[in-house]
Structure 1
Amino acid sequence: MNENSVITSRKRGKRMNSIDVPQRFLDHLTPSVLETSHSRHPQLENVPPDVWTLDKLFNRYYTARQAAGAAERTLEDYRKHMNWLRRFMALEYGGLDNFVPNRDVVRAWISHMLTVQKLKSSTINIRLRTVKAMFNWASSEGLLKESPFENVNLLKVPEEEFQIITKVQERSLFESCEMTTLTGLRDALLISFLLDTGVRIGECLRIFACEVDLTQRSALVRAESAKTRKARTVYFGKRTQGLLAIYLAWHEKNGQAANLFLNEYGQPMDKDWATKRISSIGKKAKITGVRVSPHTFRHTFATRYIKATGDPFSLRRLLGHSSMEMVNRYVNQNTDDVREQYEKFIKLS
């Protein structure tokens, strides 16, 4: 095409859409290249498996779990447990904390947690399950040829007896709360509420004041607050009812947030701070031989409930468990009832 013909084409308003492309370049454009879409988000690019970094892989997995409606608590665990893996890799592999590990690295991480950090097998398994889920997902999506957790088993955890708070220790905890102060009243209410309901501390701190029914002695755990994403109603006794009546009067005038449990500034209590408060009260009460924590209160509630009612099915609903597996552990722990039933049997034989 000469210069005159170009000018003529432009005058006629035709689009200049023709271009001479070498055939060798056209041959290079395979169907897979032509079908590749370009994303504006670098972390979501369809890159080959051999150039995936840990960050890119995690970002893509995190986005997928967000899109699937994972709870914020679950997403927080993803971030936290992945950071533990990054820290180990940075420490042991000279700062190369962003490459995708193989199974040797995973096994070295497990060994590090066991021998250096001296973590419990149950704690290690919690971290491993979270990270393993990401790599299994990446493998199922075709991003990795196989998961580095292939042929890597979780640790065996011995079934130890649950630690529980005795009635004597319970009285000592309440006597150690300064009931003449707001802090002491709130701490006593928190302990009483956890022991009466068996709720997880995270669920407890997300309950709103308006979701407490003093007349029915009940409280709602919303679906978005529950670990299993299923709403449920929990119940409390008269001691908690009395403490709530006093506390809610203060909450109505001074509360700066909808949450039931607030700090001294009227803001929602933080989970870590609530746990530390409970632990400090345990030390003040000079309780030994048992860890004074929100989860110990949950074990205490479940153990007392199954002993009093013998009904694991209603216990599962109250605790918010998705299956009977964990509840059965409480049933199996109740050795006193087994002994009582055996004595009845032996007398008749």
Structure 2
Amino acid sequence: MVKTTRKGIRKTTVNRKSRNIIKNMTLYEMFQRFMIDKRAEGLSRTTIEGYEITYGYLEDFLLGDLANEEITTDVFTDYIGYMLHEKNLSPVTANVRIRTMRAFLRYCYERDWIYEPIHESFKPVKTGEIKIDAFTPDEVNLLLHQIDDTRYVGFRDKVMILIMLDTMVRVSELLKIRRANVDLKNGSIQLEPHETKMKRARIVPLSTKSVKLLAEYLEETQDFEEDTLFVTYDGRPISDNTFRKQLIQYKDLAGIKNKRVSPHTFRHTGALFYILNGGDPFSLQDILGHTDMSMVRRYIKMSNVHIKRQHNSFSPLLSLNK
């Protein structure tokens, strides 16, 4: 069925006897064995693809494979310099690749595939404080105003955006929610452990407005007979790429040029609004699914900037005679 308009409107043990054979493996062969174990750990498809893409960047730099005796610290320090000074990657982007390579090299050393603990010889580069983008209420309303919710795709996108803001889930979590995970009676969504970044189950609460929206959306999409909550106009689970493209279209229509309109920006925005509206940091940490308070502290710091701006406009001293 097609909708275009809305209704009504494993760890591997190395045999020491085979050590000399293992030493003959190339870097690429080691990586393939590494990935076999990563897949066996049950990591998400996104994480697996991230490992493979990151290794591909290193392979491009190397212009091919390396024999075992060619795997040295110099190779990786040169690679870091290449990323920062020739490719002009930001320290944040370079660090994602550096951490992945360190994890891979640690794995190889622990299995006696390489002689030296190369992973201990280089570390992530220093970064300044990372700027976090968040929308203002006016920008959120402007984006929502671009959506034609008289059509199914528009209504679905509006629901997805508002649910992201309300629950602050990651886009990977949002797209894996099943209809059975939605509890309208108790106003919550159950996130399954294998479908979250930290591999831990959590329950995210829903506001009254979100409950009403989801009730309408669930009724709208029940004839698709699809377990996944958010689907395309022909009833297939929507992809990350499709949703991101939709957001870019709304950004262009809204004329927003100075901010990135992405699913994660909505997550940041929801967290900031939560603090500004009086939410406590400990419940926010639970809702976000963070293991520590470091990210929550950033939202608190951002909210203090907003408070300072408000204070300049509404300072009690403004009531005094000039």
Q: TM-score, normalised by structure 2?
A: 0.83
Q: Following the alignment from structure 2 to structure 1, what is the Cα–Cα distance between the partners of residues 232 and 106?
A: 41
Aligned to 2:255: 286
Query: 1:212, 1:218 within 8 Å by CA — same for their partners in 2?
Result: yes
Name the amino acid aligned to 2:62.
M
Aligned to 1:53: 26
Query: 2:275, 2:300 within 8 Å by CA — same for their partners in 1?
Result: yes
Query: 1:221, 1:232 within 8 Å by CA — same for their partners in 2?
Result: yes
The percentage of counterpart residues that share the same residue type is: 31
Q: TM-score, normalised by structure 1?
A: 0.77
Query: 1:87, 1:97 within 8 Å by CA — same for their partners in 2?
Result: no
Aligned to 1:335: 304
Greater RCO (CA < 8 Å, at least 6 residues apart): 2
Query: C-alpha displacement at 1:36, in angstroms?
Result: 4.2
Structure 1 residues 303 and 170, CA, compared in 2 at 3 Å: closer, same or farther? same
Name the amino acid aligned to 2:275.
I
Query: 2:22, 2:113 within 8 Å by CA — same for their partners in 1?
Result: yes
Query: 1:185, 1:243 within 8 Å by CA — same for their partners in 2?
Result: no
Structure 1 residues 278 and 52, CA, compared in 2 at 3 Å: closer, same or farther? same
Q: Does 1:226 align with 2:196?
A: yes
SS at match of 2:189: strand
Q: Following the alignment from structure 1 to structure 2, what is the Cα–Cα distance between the partners of residues 205 and 251?
A: 15
Query: 1:113, 1:119 within 8 Å by CA — same for their partners in 2?
Result: yes
Query: 1:278, 1:293 within 8 Å by CA — same for their partners in 2?
Result: yes
Q: Does 1:241 align with 2:211?
A: yes
Q: Following the alignment from structure 2 to structure 1, what is the Cα–Cα distance between the partners of residues 236 and 278?
A: 38
Aligned to 1:97: 65
Q: Does 1:203 align with 2:199?
A: no
Aligned alpha-carbon RMSD (Å): 2.5
SS at match of 1:156: coil
SS at match of 2:204: strand
Name the amino acid aligned to 1:80.
I
Aligned to 1:18: none
Aligned to 2:238: 269
Name the amino acid aligned to 2:94.
I
Query: C-alpha displacement at 1:109, in angstroms?
Result: 2.2
Structure 1 residues 218 and 70, CA, compared in 2 at 3 Å: closer, same or farther? same
Query: 2:189, 2:203 within 8 Å by CA — same for their partners in 1?
Result: yes
Query: C-alpha displacement at 1:206, in angstroms?
Result: 0.5
Structure 1 residues 269 and 147, CA, compared in 2 at 3 Å: closer, same or farther? farther
Name the amino acid aligned to 2:280.
D
Q: How many residues end up aligned between the 2 structures?
A: 296
Name the amino acid aligned to 2:301.
N
Matches within 5 A, 1:4-153: 36=17, 47-49=21-23, 51-90=24-63, 96-99=64-67, 101-153=71-123
Task: Flag structure 2 segments of 5+ consecutive residues without an equivalent.
Answer: 1-14, 317-322
| Larger displacement relative to structure 2 (287-296 or 239-248) | 239-248
Query: C-alpha displacement at 1:284, in angstroms?
Result: 1.2
Query: 2:170, 2:267 within 8 Å by CA — same for their partners in 1?
Result: yes
Deviations 1:10-62 (A, max 9, x none): xxxxxxxxxxxxxxxxxxxxxxxx9847xxxxxxx97242x221222112222
Query: C-alpha displacement at 1:124, in angstroms?
Result: 1.4
Aligned to 2:319: none
Structure 1 residues 35 and 243, CA, compared in 2 at 3 Å: closer, same or farther? closer
Aligned to 2:3: none
Aligned to 2:287: 318
Q: Following the alignment from structure 1 to structure 2, what is the Cα–Cα distance between the partners of residues 216 and 83?
A: 46
| Larger displacement relative to structure 2 (215-224 or 97-106) | 97-106
